[in-house]
Structure formats: C-alpha cells, structure tokens
A = this chain, B = another copy of it.
Amino acid sequence: MENKPHNGNIFARIPAHIPDEVFETIVGDDPVKIERIISCGHATPEGHWYDQDRNEWVMVLQGRADILFEGDREAITLTPGDHVHIAAHRRHRVTRTDDKQPTIWLAVHYP
C-alpha cells in the first residue's frame, strides 16, 4: 500500500476554467516563495513589464510559454522542463501562453 504525500501534485487540481491566471503559493512567502502559476492563453498586457524585487527561477511543466526580456529582439520559448533564471529587476513580459491547454509553471522567488 502506498502513502501519497499530502503535500500535493503540481499537475493536480487544475481548474476547468481559467479566466484569470492562477497564482498559488505552495510553500513559503517571505523571503522565499515557491509558487504554482496556471495560465491558459494569457499574456502580460501590452506595454507592461514585470520588474521584481526578488530573483525568480521559473520552469514550465506543461504547456508552453514565451517570455521576452526587455532589450531582446525575440522571446524565449519554454516547453515542459525548460527553466529560466530571471534576475531581480530584469524586466520581462510573457508574450504568449498555450491557448489549447493550461500552462503550468513552477516559480521560485528568492532574495
């Protein structure tokens, strides 16, 4: 008989409808936060850039997402397993996420 961890599974409990991106804290908050993000066709609003006080390490586990760093000509495409490090205050935006399935991200925010 197997004990399943009560801590959860990153692929579980995906909402059937995702009108807004879902941000769920898995553990921690300050100074370190581990977070699951669920997107479905979402993108950062035109002209808006994320500019974060903390470093962020992010990995896509399902779906697909394109991230553009300010000053770059082309977005980076993340598919399952791809991870990218975003230094604090490195301005970036998500230009596209898969609109056919939920994109599941794991993000670690740290000082």
Contacts and interface: CB of A to CB of B under 8 A. Distances in A.
Interface of A: 1-5, 7-12, 26-28, 31-32, 34, 55, 57, 59, 61, 74-78, 80-85, 106, 108, 110-111
Contacts of A4: 76-77, 82
Q: Is the interface of A mostly helix, strand, loop or mixed?
A: strand
Contact of A3 (B1, B7, B77): B77
Given A34-B108, A108-B34, A7 B85 contact: yes
Given A57-B34, A110-B32, A84 B5 contact: yes
A5 B83 contact: yes
8 contacts: A3-B77, A5-B78, A7-B83, A7-B84, A9-B81, A9-B82, A11-B80, A61-B81
B11 A81 contact: yes
Nearest to A72: B3
